Structure 1
Amino acid sequence: MARSDEHNRAARERAREAILESAIILFAERGVSGASIAEITRRAGVAQGLVSYHFGGKDQLVAAVIDRWYEALFAIPQVEGPADVRLAGIIDGALAATGFALPVQRAVFAMQQQPSTHRMFAEAETRFAEQAIASENAVREIFRERGAADPPLEEIMLRTTLEGVFMKYAVYGDTYPLEDARRWVRRLYGLPEPEAGLPLQLAPRDPDARTRAAGALRDEE
């Protein structure tokens, strides 16, 4: 590929990523209906027409944000070893991912409350159905190996617990005790205490701290 072609391709990819990141932030702050294409592209520093070029329209941009969330979920690495080691790896990986992917997590949390996006989530589930089934089956096999009476229900409840942590961290930010929540979930399943903390920059926890939405505000808010 010629140098100019490579340069143009990289510039197009940077513009696409800037639009996607801007949409994630604005959808989290204002919801889908409250964030216009003009505001998204102004924040991204690109021309409005690039949304049509890269995504086709606002609905497709919303779908791309949802896809980014699914990609983050399924990018959690699998840990090899006995069932308990694999289960601990899932818990740790999921909670570390919610810290790394906090902006998109907030955007998805906001969008999940809006009936207008339910169809888009259903369509995304179809696109990622194969990965979802494989992930669910891997967790169910862990509980099967641990002797659970109902592995499918255990998988559903583990996912429910972790998704609850995701949402609380998205709402409460630094005032939510993510590291302590990780250790609590491990104890729930009789797993050993972790040897090290999550690979995130987390605020020290005040033993008498209370979760407050102010903990999720950025400096400019």
Structure 2
Amino acid sequence: MAQSDERNRQVRERARENILLSAIELFGEKGVSGASIAEITRRAGVAQGLANYHFGGKDQLVGAVIDKWFEVLFAIPQWTGSPDDMLAGIIDGVLRATGFALPLQRAVLAIQQQPDTHRLFAESEQRFREQAAAAEDIVRGMFRDRGAVDPALEEVMLRSTLEGIVIKYAVYGDSFPLEDARRWMYRLYELREPEEPLPLDLAPRDDELRLRAIRAVRPVR
């Protein structure tokens, strides 16, 4: 009986994860309003009623996608060592997460930009407020140790710059030079040049370096 219960639990968890992954893909492809629960569950290969069972409704599913993004964000390892080592680790951690979790980044970007779902993003942000404040304080302390006059502003500007790179990569795909952007940030903060490229499967840089959204268009499924 115990084995049967455990097997059922695993099946339910797998169905939940498949629904969540399908929602991430479709929200990134079509936006929240363009992706129906029926389409999400069809892509996940599960019965439509399971979406309500696991999430309760579309707003809750959107909230779960945003929560997943925060979980990925706060799962970036906390680097130790000198302030410069910590800063390099933050830059690399965010850019690696961008490359590995691009569908999630696109989904959250779509959610952030829409007035009717911005409230859901704010609610999720509130759920992670303690983790966010702790992470901000660590980064502000790092900038303080680097001798910054205004560590709080430095933290905000670092986050804004990294978020800008994330957005551009999500919009422009392979035409955005992610590795070069990383090295540009190293130079901006006077960090030692990285010895190895990011461990991502990135397209070679276009010699003309022209951003084109067509390079990020996903085939319709």
Fold similarity call, TM over 0.5: yes
Q: Give, in whole Å, the separation in 2 of the partners of 1:197 and 1:4.
A: 47
Q: Give, in whole Å, the separation in 2 of the partners of 1:209 and 1:134.
A: 38
Q: Give, in whole Å, the separation in 2 of the partners of 1:195 and 1:24.
A: 34
Aligned to 1:76: 76
Return the TM-score normalized by structure 2: 0.97
What letter is aligned with 1:134?
A
Post-superposition offset of 1:32: 1.1
Q: Give, in whole Å, the separation in 2 of the partners of 1:133 and 1:59.
A: 25
Using the aligned pairs only, state the percent identity: 71
Post-superposition offset of 1:220: 4.6
Contact 2:22–2:41 (CA<8 Å) still a contact in 1? yes
Post-superposition offset of 1:34: 1.1
What letter is aligned with 1:34?
G
Contact 2:173–2:213 (CA<8 Å) still a contact in 1? yes
Post-superposition offset of 1:218: 3.0
Post-superposition offset of 1:203: 0.8
Aligned to 1:23: 23
Matches within 5 A, 1:34-183: 34-183=34-183
Aligned to 2:213: 213
What letter is aligned with 2:25?
I
Q: Give, in whole Å, the separation in 2 of the partners of 1:109 and 1:121.
A: 10
Deviating more after overlay: 18-27 vs 3-12: 3-12
Aligned pairs, number:
221
What letter is aligned with 1:30?
K
Q: In angstroms, what is the RMSD of aligned CA positions?
A: 1.2
Aligned to 2:204: 204
Aligned to 1:3: 3
Give the gaps of 5 or more residues in structure 2: none
Give the gaps of 5 or more residues in structure 1: none
Post-superposition offset of 1:219: 4.4
The structure-2 alpha-carbon separation of the partners of 1:220 and 1:116, relative to structure 1 and needing over 3 Å to count, comes to closer
Q: Give, in whole Å, the separation in 2 of the partners of 1:212 and 1:15.
A: 36
What secondary structure is seen at the aligned counterpart in 2 of 1:67?
Answer: helix
Q: Give, in whole Å, the separation in 2 of the partners of 1:3 and 1:209.
A: 57
Provide Cα deviations, 1:103-159, integer angstroms capped at 9, x if missing partner: 010001111111111111111111000110011000000110011000000000000
Provide Cα deviations, 1:156-204, integer angstroms capped at 9, x if missing partner: 0000000000000000111110000000011100001101111111111
What secondary structure is seen at the aligned counterpart in 1 of 2:47?
Answer: coil
Q: Give, in whole Å, the separation in 2 of the partners of 1:109 and 1:126.
A: 18
Q: Give, in whole Å, the separation in 2 of the partners of 1:99 and 1:113.
A: 21
Post-superposition offset of 1:3: 2.0
Q: Give, in whole Å, the separation in 2 of the partners of 1:5 and 1:203.
A: 46
Provide Cα deviations, 1:58-86, integer angstroms capped at 9, x if missing partner: 11000000001111110100111010110
Q: Give, in whole Å, the separation in 1 of the partners of 2:96 and 2:208.
A: 24
